């Protein structure tokens, strides 16, 4: 699974908005939009590995604080 697919899964499973992802990663919402574009799009950008890993860590920490299992 590539980072785009992982990001889409995280957004869906955690009921996040693109702006939520941007806030968590301290990036502009437009950057998240570029990561989610099809790789065929000229505006597509690959999501850095460190960004997807950081997002997964932050969500896991938030879920452990609230007792969620997602």
Instruction: Indicate which CATH number applies to the domain containing 36.
Output: 1.10.260
Collect all residues with Cβ–Cβ distance below 8 Å to 60 and sequence separation of at least 6.
none
The answer to whether 21 and 7 have CB atoms below 8 angstroms apart is: yes
Q: What's residue 66's pLDDT? A: 74
Count structural domains, the chain: 1
In a domain, 37, yes or no: yes
Q: Which domain holds residue 34?
A: 3-64
70 falls within a domain = no
pTM: 0.87
69 lies in a domain? Answer: no
Q: Look at residue 55 and tell me if it is in a domain.
A: yes
pLDDT digits (tens, 9 = 90+) for 12-70: 999 999 999 999 999 999 999 999 999 999 999 999 999 999 999 999 999 898 766 55
């Amino acid at each position: 699974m590539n980072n785009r697919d992982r990001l889409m899964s995280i957004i869906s499973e955690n009921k996040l908005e693109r702006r939520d992802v941007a806030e968590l990663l301290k990036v502009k919402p437009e950057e998240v939009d570029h990561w989610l574009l099809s790789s065929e799009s000229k505006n597509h950008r690959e999501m850095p590995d460190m960004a997807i890993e950081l997002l997964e860590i932050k969500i896991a920490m938030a879920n452990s604080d609230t007792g969620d299992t997602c």
